[in-house]
Amino acid sequence: MVDLDLTTAHFKGLSVHVVFMLIPMLHNHHREVHGDILTKLAQIVDQGGVKPLLDEQRFNLAEAGKAHDRLTSGQAIGKVVVEV
């Protein structure tokens, strides 16, 4: 059993999405089923069925501080991209 305090996330209005695949795999419980799931997921990703949501504003490496500010401000929608 895991006991986590999610109070801060709750106050910030954040949602938590968790996938509990690791524990059964570590204990060899229906490991083959999880292998099948990961294989199917890899196929979906390879076919372009899963795409990340990227923020419209991009930053170069020199602007990493600005990228961090955008992320922590809550203005970013999706992942903030820092291009090298």
* pLDDT tens track for 16-55: 666 666 777 778 888 888 788 889 989 999 999 988 899 9
pLDDT in the model for residue 62: 96
Q: Which of 82, 84, 78 is nearest to 55 (CA)?
A: 78
Q: Which of 61, 58, 52, 64 is nearest to 81 (CA)?
A: 58
41 within 8 A of 14, measured Cβ to Cβ: no
> pTM of the prediction?
0.49
Instruction: Please give the structure tokens belonging to residue 37.
Output: 């799931």
Mean residue pLDDT of the chain comes to: 85
Q: For the residues 49-78, what does the mean pLDDT come to? A: 94
Q: For the residues 1-6, what does the mean pLDDT come to? A: 69
Share of the chain above pLDDT 90, in %: 48
Where exactly are the structural domains of the chain? 52-84
Calpha distance 21→2 (Å, rounded): 14
Q: Which of 17, 22, 70, 54 is nearest to 9 (CA)?
A: 17
Calpha distance 32→39 (Å, rounded): 10
Whether the pLDDT of residue 2 is over 70: the answer is no
